[in-house]
Every structure is written in C-alpha cells, then in structure tokens.
C-alpha cells in the first residue's frame, strides 16, 4: 500500500473504499437512469424496458450486497438516523462537515431514497408495461385504466428520482470541494486517502466480472433481433395478441388499402361507413349486400369499444360519444400521437400520406400497433426533423 504525506504532515495511505461490484453497480445504474430517460419515445420501448430490467436487477443486487458485501458497502456502515443527518447538514452549512471514508449521513439517505425510488419506478414500470402494453411478467394484471394510473405514478416517481439524483450530485460536488478530494474519481478508481490504519475492502473482482458478463449476455440476448433483422424482415421487439381476423374483410377492404383493423374505430363509425358504401370516400364500392352485412358484423363485433388493444381503448375514449368519425386519422388520439410528424415525412414517397399505416408500423396489418413496432423507413428518418 502506497503512503504519502498530506498538508500538515499526517501520514496517509491509499485505501480501497469502493469494491468493483459497487462501482459497476453505481455507474451502470446511473447509465440505466439516463438511457431510460432518453428512450421515452415509444419507438425505443425495448431499450427503455431493458434499462428498467437492468435497473431492477442492479438494485436487488445492491440490497443483497448491503448485507454480504465489503465493509463500506454494508448497510450497517451507513445506518444513520435523522438527527445524525441533521447535524451533518448543519456542519455542511458551516463549511466544516466531518469526513467519512464511506457514505456520509446525508449521502446515505440519498442512497436509501434512490434505492427505494428506483425499485418503485421499476415496479410501476412493470405494472404499466403489463397493463398498457399487455407485455412482460405482469401482462394483463391491470386493465387499461389501471395501467394508465400506474403509468402516471411511474412518471411522477421518475421525476422524484431525478430530483434526488440532482441533490445527490450536488452533495458530491459540495463535499468534494469542502474536503478537497475528488469523490467522482474515487467512485471510478475505488480509492480514497485516509489516515493510516483504515481498512481497505477487497476488490471482489470475480463478482464484478460475473456481473459484467451477466449484463453483456442479457443485453445480447435482449437485442439480438436488431442484429439479425433484414430490410425485408424488420425486427419487432414485442408482438401483440393475435386479433380476430376475417378473410372477406381482409380481401375486400384490403383490395384498395390496408385492411384497417375493426379495433381502430367505434362500432357507430363502422355502421355508418358500411351503410354509405356507395360513397366510400368518393368511391362506389358496389359490394353485394350479403358481403356488406358480413363485413359490418365483423367490424362491429371487434370495434374499438371492445378494447382489444391499447390503441383501441385509447382511440375509443378520445372520441366524444356524439361524434361519428369515419376516418381513423380524425380521431383525437390519432391526431395527438401523430402531431409531431412533419409534412415532409407525410409527403415522402415511402410514406404515401396518412392512409398507409404500414409505412411506419411494422404490425399494421395485424392491427396490434405495438408501441415498439414503429419503424420509419431509413431515408424517412433523415427527413424527420421534429423528433
């Protein structure tokens, strides 16, 4: 162990405070938080979800490590009560806080808060994923309204967590300045300097290496579809349920345009549309009455009111009960979800205007409209400036 002299002539040694698992946990958790924050757009849902799973796994590991880890990682090393925190903060205000080799009282509370909030964010995220998307281990546990509530909770908790992260970072900067040491570098190298005799923790590099391998393996497994996709067969991270289908509907409606799934409009819209088949957006469909009846039955039975998908539920609740809209693109939910798309994108030859859902939604023909099944054609991506 190297020794050096500090101002005042006290002999000090380099002490390993943060073992490798703790450092890996810290920086990976921070990365997950940042990644999750920047993958809010539905298109990147699979990245967001992975960041969430990883965050959950890391926090569970940290809770375990708080009991079996190195001396500075154990909870009993930083189990400070409120009055200790209060005293510490008073000392900070007087610019003379005592130095702690491990976590200080204020920092320890930030850690407990971050662990608690992180876990709550992960749990509400899983509930949202299961309730709104019908995916993940909690798929279908909540219905759509409950899933929406979990979603709002998830967002509020995330903002709260961001607040604690900011306080945590400010605390690090303040303490680094007051003690003239770089705490950020310590969290990278694991080392701090201390008076002789302080205990050094083991590096626990084997556990760290195992964690790293596990994270990389999980990442490769989760994202392998992106590596194997081809332009013809685009990768769709999440598949929705198989929706009711009908060959006559697919054949007749699909002859001129994408066979828009019944779940995309309410029953009253479909009835009106089939009754006016002789003036179908400027065309006379000239379908036989028998075909009209069969198609109408299929449309009405699986209309938006049935809530077969998240999109169906949200489209239906967005339309005032008195309105009979004939275009999916006139529904308030559709408009809201597409408002950021610039005219340049709509006019792009690969997009064909607002009528061709399949230009960007890989699963448009299936009717599921999964959040993560959105994929702008590559040269359209360059046109999209607004996102």
Partner 1 sequence: MNRKLIGVTALLLSIPFYAQADAVSDLEAEYQAQGGTNFNATAGEALWNKEFIDAKKGDKRSCTKCHTADLKKPGKHARTGKAIEPMAPTVNPKRLTEVKQIKKWFVRNCKWTLGRECTAQEKGDFLAYLKNL
Interface with partner 1 (CB under 8 A): 256-258, 282-288, 352-353, 355-356
Q: For 242, phi and psi rounded to 5 degrees?
A: -70, 120
Determine the straight-line distance between the first and last CA of the chain, rounded to whole angstroms: 53
Of residues 160 and 258, the one with the C-beta less far from partner 1:
258
Of residues 197 and 282, the one with the C-beta less far from partner 1:
282
Of residues 181 and 356, the one with the C-beta less far from partner 1:
356
Closest separation in Å from C-beta 318 to partner 1: 24
Q: Which two tokens stand for residue 220?
A: 């490769």
Q: Which two tokens stand for residue 36?
A: 């999750």
Q: Which two tokens stand for residue 190?
A: 């694991």
What is the per-residue burial (b if ≥16 Cβ within 10 Å, else e) of 114-147?
bbebbbbbbbbbbbbbbbbbbbbebeeebebeeb
How far apart are the C-alpha atoms of 189 and 16, rounded to whole Å? 8
Burial class (CB in 10 A: 0-12, 13-18, 19+), 216: exposed
Closest separation in Å from C-beta 287 to partner 1: 7
Closest separation in Å from C-beta 257 to partner 1: 4
Closest separation in Å from C-beta 233 to partner 1: 18
192 contact partners, CB below 8 Å, separation of at least 6: 14, 15, 17, 101, 181, 186
Q: For 194, phi and psi rounded to 5 degrees?
A: -155, 165
DSSP H or E stretch at residue 27: helix 20-38
Of residues 161 and 253, the one with the C-beta less far from partner 1:
253
How far apart are the C-alpha atoms of 304 and 302, rounded to whole Å? 7
Length of the chain measured in residues: 387
Count Cα atoms within 13 angstroms, Cβ side, for 219: 12
Closest separation in Å from C-beta 294 to partner 1: 15
Count Cα atoms within 13 angstroms, Cβ side, for 25: 26
Beta strand 11-16 with 3-5 is antiparallel
Closest separation in Å from C-beta 364 to partner 1: 12
How far apart are the C-alpha atoms of 368 and 92, rounded to whole Å? 55
Of residues 285 and 362, the one with the C-beta less far from partner 1:
285
Of residues 285 and 308, the one with the C-beta less far from partner 1:
285
Of residues 36 and 259, the one with the C-beta less far from partner 1:
259
Of residues 30 and 355, the one with the C-beta less far from partner 1:
355
Packing angle, helices 144-178 and 82-93, rounded to 10: 50
Closest separation in Å from C-beta 282 to partner 1: 7
Closest separation in Å from C-beta 284 to partner 1: 5
Closest separation in Å from C-beta 376 to partner 1: 16
Of residues 219 and 353, the one with the C-beta less far from partner 1:
353
């Amino acid at each position: 162990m190297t020794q050096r002299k500090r101002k005042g002539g006290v002999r000090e040694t380099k002490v390993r405070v943060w073992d490798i698992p703790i450092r890996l946990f810290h920086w990976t958790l921070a990365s997950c938080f940042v990644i999750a924050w920047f993958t809010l757009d539905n298109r990147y849902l699979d990245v967001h979800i992975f960041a969430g799973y990883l965050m959950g796994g890391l926090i569970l590991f940290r809770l375990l490590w708080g009991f079996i880890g190195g001396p500075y990682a154990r909870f009993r090393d930083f189990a400070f009560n409120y009055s200790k925190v209060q005293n510490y903060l008073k000392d900070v205000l007087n610019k003379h806080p005592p130095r702690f080799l491990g976590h200080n009282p204020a920092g320890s509370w930030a850690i407990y808060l971050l662990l608690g909030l992180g876990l709550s964010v992960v749990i509400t995220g899983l509930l949202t994923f299961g309730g709104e998307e019908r995916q993940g281990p909690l798929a279908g546990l909540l219905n759509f309204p409950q899933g929406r509530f979990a979603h709002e909770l998830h967002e509020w908790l995330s903002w709260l967590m961001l607040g604690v992260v900011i306080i945590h970072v400010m605390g690090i900067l303040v303490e680094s300045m007051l003690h003239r040491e770089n705490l950020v570098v310590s969290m990278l190298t694991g080392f701090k300097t201390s008076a002789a005799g302080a205990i050094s923790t083991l590096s626990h590099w084997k556990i760290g290496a195992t964690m790293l391998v596990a994270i990389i393996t999980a990442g490769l497994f989760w994202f392998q579809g992106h590596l194997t996709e081809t332009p013809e067969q685009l990768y769709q991270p999440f598949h929705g349920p198989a929706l009711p289908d009908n060959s006559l509907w697919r054949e007749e409606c699909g002859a001129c345009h994408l066979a828009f799934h019944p779940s995309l409009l309410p029953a009253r819209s479909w009835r009106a549309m089939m009754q006016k088949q002789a003036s179908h957006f400027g065309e006379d469909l000239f379908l036989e009455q028998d075909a009209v009846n069969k198609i109408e039955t299929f449309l009405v039975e699986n209309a938006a009111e049935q809530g077969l998908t998240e999109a169906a539920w949200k489209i239906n609740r967005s339309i005032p009960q008195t309105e009979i809209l004939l275009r999916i693109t006139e529904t308030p939910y559709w408009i809201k979800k597409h408002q950021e798309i610039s005219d340049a994108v709509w006019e792009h030859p690969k997009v064909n205007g607002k009528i061709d859902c399949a230009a960007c939604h890989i699963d448009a023909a299936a009717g599921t409209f999964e959040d993560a099944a959105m994929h702008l054609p590559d040269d359209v991506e360059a046109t999209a400036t607004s996102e």
